[in-house]
Structure 1
Amino acid sequence: MTKQKSKPTTTGQLKLRVGTLTHSYAIETEEYIDVVDLKDAREKWREHKEQQDYNRYTLGGDVFDGDEVVAVFSPNGRCFKPSDKGNEYYKRLPSSELIDID
């Protein structure tokens, strides 16, 4: 599993963003993991979440192609298309439209 700390820039290579928050909800860690496809991203997202304390301080689940978000995983592993809205933690929040990856 290849990890890097910088934001992805190359289109055509999917990256899953994972990270953690501090107890005061500041971003503590943030990494981008190479993934083959959305199924691979879901598996790696679940692995990351299992290492966290009840998902309380878990960050990420968004999948990038270059610097564009192409999918966002929920804590339970469902995959959504990105919306046009973001916040201080996410470039694009999930929309209500599911992506079927099974």
Structure 2
Amino acid sequence: MFVLLGSRQARRTKFELPKMLVWRDAKAIANQVRTIAEVTPEINNRQLITYRNRNSNSQVMRTTREFLSVRSFEVAKGRFISELDLKWNNRLVSD
């Protein structure tokens, strides 16, 4: 199940939608719906990325290690987020 704020289906509802979901909301949904095994946040936006003397206005996605299993994705090359990346708040880049 994917919960996306502002989707077309959500816009047709008669009740007021929240402006954002927080991690606590995702955990509450997972705890109340037995068929949900894992939850993961996904935040997307564009940002200016600078590396050495090069700049790029790129799509940036923030997520957690559970992203791969929740979305049924596999890493084709390299590696994904590790416990140490999370612990040290590392910034990771892929192409």
What TM bracket, shorter-length normalisation?
A: 0.3 to 0.5
Report the structure, 1 or 2, having the larger strand content. 1
Q: TM-score, normalised by structure 2?
A: 0.35
Greater C-alpha Rg: 2
Q: TM-score, normalised by structure 1?
A: 0.34
Report the structure, 1 or 2, having the larger helix content. 2
